[in-house]
Structure 1
Amino acid sequence: MISCDRIQAALSARLDGEPAPLEDDVIDAHLEACVQCRAFYEQAAFLNRRMNLSEARPDAIPDLSDVIIAGVEPTWRKQAASRALGVAFSRVGMVLVGVMWVLWATSLLGVSGVGEWEPVFSRLLVEAAAMRCALGFGLLFAAWQTRIVSGLLPLYGALWMFSFGFAVREIVLGELSFDSLIQLVLLAVSVVVLLWCWLSDKGWALIEFGLKSLR
């Protein structure tokens, strides 16, 4: 496994316009999976742009890799540690909420006398259990492969938004059931942990880059 130090040295060479000691595919694959190296590359690229290296003469460009690393290392290490901690806690949250969804689905399927009910009600119960099971397994898989969080977030967000809209109507009419309340809370917590993971992994970097670009 390639260490982060070798990747960061290769990134510095890439930013300086020098031949990188590693293949571009290897560097890009590591950046996709490593929060620390991604933060390092973003900070180094930002400092590089601020120095206007592209406007300097080719024969006058100094080797600024040591200066860049010394300037960004304390900052990116602190940010990387904070992001890694946020991702870790959000993954734990996704596992816990995912298990709750699956347990709820199992309890629905275990209701006695389901086979004796009307076919319509039995089918609705099975579909409700299938939906909750899918939501649970989606969170469990996202906790394992965090790269899919950005794809799941709009889905869970839309489910919560529609559920909240119907819940407001039921509250006004005094018809909100306990199951509806539990579903609304679980959806809200699901959105929170997914959003937390996304912000910790990529969101803050994108927001920070956008703010710096506006300056």
Structure 2
Amino acid sequence: MQCAPFREALSARLDGEPLGMPAADLDRHLDGCPGCTAWAEAAGAVTRRARLAPAPPVPDLTAAVLGALPRELPGTAAAARARLLASALRLALLAVGVAQAGLAWPSLTAGTAAMSAPVHVAHETGAWNLAVAAAFVAVAAVPRLAAGALPFLATFTVLLAVATVRDLKAGHVHADRAAAHLLLLAGVVLIAVVAWRGRPRRAAALVARERVTA
């Protein structure tokens, strides 16, 4: 019997392809043909060597991956300190907001303001100061609002500080009235710190990505 068709079927079996004949016929031929049996063993060994090629060398990225991990992992002392500081900032901002509202309330409800301002001007001042107090409380409750509130509040605070210094020099405002603005300044500084702590760590993420891909 010619062995060529059976060896083609053996090759197809090694490659996972259709045999082209019943598998029982191929097995019976292998049982009675030592040559095809030896050929099948040799072909199988060659196929295994071709398929089990050595893996290409892979660089050790252990140090880079560990270096890219955040330093403040949950449960560490640094993370605990960070949470404590965040809570302290929020409580301080809440206290400033409540105090700011306390200063604004008399002008808004009774229409009384320093230096005998007209009633409507006193109401406007009270409403504005109460709105600033609400912004402080809102950031204390939701710290991610700090970045959005900071540009407006900081601009207002800087302009008010410049105007207050000029009015003090000109004698248009009493020192106690000017000192009340320090509460506003404290609130804006606290919001700035909260916004800075919550800024996106884009630069750190880029550095970590470069370490891993290097």
TM-score normalised by structure 2 residue count: 0.56
**Residues 63 and 110 of structure 1: is their aligned pair in 2 closer, same or farther, counting only changes over 3 Å?**
same
1:57-206 matched pairs, under 5 angstroms? 60=58, 64=62, 68-69=65-66, 72=69, 76=73, 77-111=76-110, 121-178=118-175, 180-202=177-199, 205=201
Task: Specify the SS of the correspondent of 2:110.
Answer: coil
Amino acid at match of 1:92: L
- Per the TM alignment, residue 80 of structure 1 is displaced from its structure 2 partner at its CA by 3.1
Query: Relative to structure 2, which stretch is displaced further, 148-157 or 103-112?
Result: 103-112
Deviation at 1:173, TM superposition (A): 1.4
Larger Rg: 2
One-letter code of the match for 1:145?
V
Q: Number of residue pairs matched?
A: 150
- Do the aligned partners of 1:98 and 1:140 also contact (CA within 8 Å) in 2? yes
TM-score, structure 1 as length reference: 0.56
Structure 2 gaps of 5+ residues are 1-54, 209-214
Structure 1 position 74, deviation (Å): 5.6
The separation in 2 between residues aligned to 1:73 and 1:111, in whole angstroms, is 53
- Over residues 42-92 of structure 1, what are the superposed CA-to-partner deviations in whole Å (9 max), with x where a residue is unaligned? xxxxxxxxxxxxxxx99736684x984598466544543333222111100
Which one-letter code corresponds to 1:60 in the other structure? V
Deviation at 1:181, TM superposition (A): 1.2
Distance 2:145 2:58 in 1: 44
**Is the Cα–Cα contact under 8 Å of residues 101 and 133 in structure 2 kept in the other structure?**
yes
Unaligned runs of 5+ in 1: 1-56
2:93/2:187 contact within 8 Å kept: yes
Compared CA separation, residues 139 and 75, structure 1 to 2 (3 A): closer
Same amino acid, percent of matched pairs:
17
The structure that is helix-richer by fraction is 1
User: Could you tell me how far 1:176 is from its partner in structure 2?
Assistant: 2.6
